[in-house]
């Protein structure tokens, strides 16, 4: 009897598809990793009416061929599917139990889950249930010479990056930040196997009861989606000086962000908070004025492509992160930039 092929599983977090494409991104990476350890790539879907469109009404795409079809078209060799009215909403305990049973039966080598809010909590529970290791919020995955999954994850707000492995326990598990990997384009010709996962006749009721769940209209994520962000911190000195950032942002067609102390001092609204407890930004250009760079803030700026930081202190954490570190008075540079931009933009 041939040994069963090893498998890399990707959990299908499908309820916000098409905006949330992390599952497709993970399927793509899984293919790369699978090639290195001679494994197959499997999607795992728990839900109800999974062939129907479940995402946001406004973003419906007529080429949609059911979640399972999408996953196969984007790289899965196989999809484990549990489609049942009891799985209509994501319910943590039920999903954890189903995953536990499935894993114990099929014994995958690796499980990857997108680091959405649900995914992170779900992965934690599954890893605990299976007594295995889990690395959260990875920004990279690799296979090393020992054939182990190398889980690359940041800590201290991104100031430190760790390479982690799970040497003994199985499966090796990781959650991955959306946007870390590139999905493979939809390939209609790809085929794959669908394995129906039967539910036990009686499922214990989830001890957490979902009273109400409203999909929120995809709220305008101006700050999170902005291509240019102008962020200000205490180093600007005063509310009046902070306010000049709005003029600069306007000229650049960008948004204004703020650090926590600035929000508490009421120089900016809580909606402008960029930080671990506020908004995550991923601009092409980030201009950082008078920000020292507490990790709670820098953690949310990690995905900025190009950072220009202004601070009197050249050793501030934000200055070390920046591509261009300007040692000067933040407010003065802001004013001078505004003047110069006005001259150049007509």
Candidate ranges 27-35, 43-51, 69-77, 119-127; the one touching another protein (CB under 8 A): 119-127
**By CB under 8 A, residue 166 contacts another protein:** yes
In angstroms, the Cα distances linking 218 to 158, 273, 299 are 28, 19, 24
Residue 274 is classified by DSSP as B
Work out whether 197 is an interface residue with another protein (CB under 8 A): no
Q: Does 323 participate in binding another protein (rule CB under 8 A)?
A: yes
* Binders of another protein in range 96-115 (CB under 8 A): none
- Dihedral of the CA atoms 178, 30, 6, 152 (nearest 10)? -60
Burial of 98 (0-12, 13-18, 19+ CB in 10 A): buried
> How many residues appear in the chain?
346
Q: Is 328 in the site for another protein (CB under 8 A)?
A: yes
205 binds another protein (CB under 8 A): no
- In angstroms, what is the minimal distance from the CB of 207 to another protein? 4
Quick one: tokens of 222? Answer: 């101006």
Task: Please tell me whether residue 239 adopts helix, strand or coil conformation.
Answer: helix
Q: Which one of residues 103, 231, 256, 325 is an interface residue with another protein (CB under 8 A)?
A: 325
Q: Is there binding between residue 180 and another protein (CB under 8 A)?
A: no
DSSP code of residue 235:
G
d(CA 54, CA 60): 9
Site string for another protein, 228-267 (x = CB under 8 A): x-----x--xx-------------xxx------x--xx--
36, 104, 161, 225: residue in contact with another protein (rule CB under 8 A): 161
Q: Which stretch binds another protein (CB under 8 A): 32-40, 105-113, 191-199, 324-332?
A: 324-332
Cβ-in-10-Å burial (0-12, 13-18, 19+) of 99 comes to buried
Task: For residue 59, state whether it binds another protein (rule: CB under 8 A).
Answer: no
- Region from 4-12, 30-38, 41-49, 292-300 binding another protein, contact rule CB under 8 A: 292-300
Contact 247, 287 (CB under 8 A): no
> Under the criterion CB under 8 A, does residue 282 sit at the interface with another protein?
no
């Amino acid at each position: 009897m041939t040994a069963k092929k090893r498998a890399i599983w990707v959990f299908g977090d499908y309820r916000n598809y098409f905006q949330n494409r992390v599952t497709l991104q993970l399927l793509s990476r899984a293919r790369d990793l699978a090639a290195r350890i001679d494994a197959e790539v499997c999607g795992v879907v728990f839900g109800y009416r999974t062939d129907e469109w479940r995402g946001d009404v406004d973003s419906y795409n007529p080429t949609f061929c059911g979640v399972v079809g999408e996953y196969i078209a984007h790289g899965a060799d196989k999809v484990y599917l549990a489609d049942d009215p009891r799985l209509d909403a994501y319910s943590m305990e039920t999903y954890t139990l189903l995953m536990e049973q499935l894993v114990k039966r099929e014994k995958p080598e690796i499980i990857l889950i997108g680091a959405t809010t649900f995914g992170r909590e779900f992965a934690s529970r599954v890893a605990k249930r299976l007594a295995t290791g889990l690395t959260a919020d990875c920004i990279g995955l690799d296979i090393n010479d020992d054939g182990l999954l190398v889980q690359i994850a940041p800590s201290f707000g991104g100031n430190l990056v760790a390479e982690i492995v799970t040497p003994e326990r199985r499966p090796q598990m990781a959650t991955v930040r959306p946007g870390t990997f590139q999905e493979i384009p939809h390939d209609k010709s790809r085929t794959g196997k669908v394995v129906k996962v039967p539910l036990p006749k009686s499922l214990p009721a989830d001890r957490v009861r979902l009273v109400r769940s409203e999909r929120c209209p995809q709220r305008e994520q101006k700050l999170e989606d902005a291509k240019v962000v102008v962020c200000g911190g205490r180093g600007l000195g005063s509310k009046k000086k902070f306010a000049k950032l709005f003029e600069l942002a306007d000229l650049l067609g960008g948004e204004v962000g703020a650090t926590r102390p600035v929000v508490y001092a009421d120089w900016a609204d809580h909606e402008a908070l960029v930080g671990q407890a506020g908004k995550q930004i991923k601009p092409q250009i980030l201009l950082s004025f008078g920000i020292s760079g507490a990790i709670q803030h820098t953690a949310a700026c990690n995905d900025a492509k190009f950072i220009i930081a202004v601070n009197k202190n050249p050793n501030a954490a934000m200055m070390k992160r920046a591509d261009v570190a300007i040692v000067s008075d933040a407010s003065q540079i802001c004013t001078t930039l505004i003047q110069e931009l006005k001259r150049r933009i007509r």
